[in-house]
Structure 1
């Protein structure tokens, strides 16, 4: 996936688009996390990003970037469909990595603590090989 495509995906959109993305992410995030377990090595960062995206203290631009990346993550049909076993999450990994790197300073210890707490409380099963 090239930088131009990733930049287009992560471009913050209108408030209406962000609300739509937020609704999609809220509705399917945890199901997608369980499905992606074992394929995304930085799941704690992804879950912390989720908490950051819905934190009212997070700046609007940062929320927009994270919601765009998380919406791409939860979409079942993207550039490389997630149904394609191992390679299906490679494009999601690229988008999430760039988004998280771009806004890492806004993902706080509180977001990471919430991520660890939920991941410890509800361990994500890794797929059987």
Structure 2
């Protein structure tokens, strides 16, 4: 399955809104780093494709470990996000990390 075709901004924000607390700060932080990196015009197309694949996996309702399972439910999502971050980390700027930190303070403080 090509997960990039299942990505949309609306589905991403719905997932963050509906599962943010249960997913936890680490998952949401990594998802936001990727999201904001994909929005950056300087991010190359190959990196955006990697990012959108990981974000699509994050928002898909059916994945390797169902998100409704306590604790373990987002383990596979975290793995997909972390793998994408390892691939595109050179494009995650300090500005993106600060934007994410501001959003995280809004949601989790």
Q: TM-score, normalised to structure 1's length? A: 0.70
RMSD: 2.4
Deviation at 1:26, TM superposition (A): 3.8
CA contact (8 A) 1:70 1:96 kept: yes
Q: How does 1:33-44 map to 2 (within 5 A)?
A: 33-37=20-24, 41=26, 43-44=28-29
Q: 1:91 aligns with which of 57, 60, 76?
A: 76
Q: Kindly provide the CA deviation profile for residues 21-74 of structure 1, in whole angstroms up to 9, marking residues without a partner as x.
A: 134544424223333016xx3543332211111222211111111111011112
TM-score, structure 2 length as denominator?
0.81
In structure 2, stretches of 5+ residues that fail to align are none
Matches within 5 A, 1:1-129: 17=5, 20-23=6-9, 25-31=11-17, 32-37=19-24, 41=26, 43-123=28-108
Which structure has the bigger radius of gyration?
1
Greater share of residues in helix: 2
